[in-house]
Amino acid sequence: MRPPFLLACATPPARTSLRSRLSVPRLKLSDPASRAMCDFLHEPPLTVHEDASLEEAVDHMFRLGVRAVLVVRDRSVVGLLHAREAACSNPRHLRVADVMTLTDDVPAIGWDTLCEARVSDLIEIFDGTGVEHLVVLENRSASSSSVRGLIDRERLERQLSSPWSLRAGTA
């Protein structure tokens, strides 16, 4: 089991407006993959504590217009909560920890790998695996990593200047 990841942020986690979350730069398949990432060094991550009620977390996500938040214990990321997971449960009597995806099971990509990749590579990853999010990890040392950012499949779809389709070879 890997240890919890630390958050990489320039500023403490804060509330972010829905407008700033929805304004995303346009991308092309040939653009650097790092441009598709929500970089926590520039945009504070949205988090929820593992002991929060699932009902409160779902309300928080709905108000902010997001489908996923990082689950934290202290300043360590211990999982990811996706709206789909929450919707499959009765949120009234559950905590976030009861339905979150643990860090061991969260799909991740290394920062170094991301820096060498293109947007088209991300599309291949999303299409090939069926995942909705990729956590971007940056190595701090040989034994610890921090969460540098998050790539959301649906946000990437909105960022592409043409319809998402590797098979069509457009964008």
The mean pLDDT of 28-34, rounded to a whole number, is: 95
Q: What are the backbone angles phi and psi of residue 130, rounded to the nearest 5°?
A: 80, 5
Structure tokens at 157: 């779809």
pLDDT of residue 12: 43
Q: What is the pLDDT of residue 64?
A: 87
What is the three-state SS of 44-78? CCCEEECCCEHHHHHHHHHHHCCCEEEEEECCEEE
CA distance 102 to 132: 15
Q: Report the predicted TM-score, pTM, of the whole model to 2 decimal places.
A: 0.78
What is the per-residue pLDDT for 126?
94
Is 60 exceeded by the pLDDT of residue 148? yes
Mean pLDDT of 69-98: 86
Q: Most confidently modeled of 13-17, 31-35, 61-65, 145-149?
A: 31-35
C-beta separation of 91 from 68 below 8 A: no
Which alpha helices (H) appear in the chain, and where do they start and end? 18-22, 54-64, 83-87, 96-99, 111-116, 119-129, 153-159
DSSP-derived letter for residue 147 is E
By the 10 Å C-beta count (0-12 exposed, 13-18 middle, 19+ buried), 42 is classed as exposed
Domains of the chain with CATH codes: 5-159 (3.10.580.10)
